[in-house]
Amino acid sequence: MKTFKDLTFKPHPSGDGEQAVLQFDNGRAVSVITGADWFLTSVELPYEVAFIKENGYLGRVLYDGAFNSVTLIEDADHNDVVGFCTEDYVTLIMEAIQKL
């Protein structure tokens, strides 16, 4: 199972921050962005995460307030990202994507 440690960050195409995109064996992917003031990040919660469906569109990530559980929705296309994540939150989302 891939985790946060498997991500490789590169400069974001916008020139602000860094991005890691990881494709999973099930055809889905995760995009993680960090380091720029205009992303949904903070010093304590530095990552923004997008769940990318097989068709290349964003899916939706639902989670309880404490990130104890994650539900992924693929039935419609969403322009949704999850902001203010820790490395552990990113891993939780990545694991849920890989279980689809």
Query: What are the boundaries of each domain within the chain?
Result: 4-98
Can you tell me the distance from the alpha carbon of 1 to that of 19, in angstroms, rounded to the nearest whole number? 20
Q: What is the pLDDT of residue 96?
A: 93
77 with 50: CB under 8 angstroms?
Answer: no
Instruction: For the beta carbon of residue 22, count every other beta carbon within 10 angstroms.
Output: 18
Can you tell me the distance from the alpha carbon of 65 to that of 6, in angstroms, rounded to the nearest whole number? 25
Q: What is the pLDDT along the chain (100 residues), one digit of tens a residue?
A: 999 999 999 998 888 899 999 999 999 999 999 986 767 888 888 999 999 999 999 999 888 767 777 888 888 778 788 999 999 999 999 999 999 9
pTM attached to this predicted model: 0.91
Phi and psi angles of residue 18, each rounded to the nearest 5 degrees, phi first: -130, 155
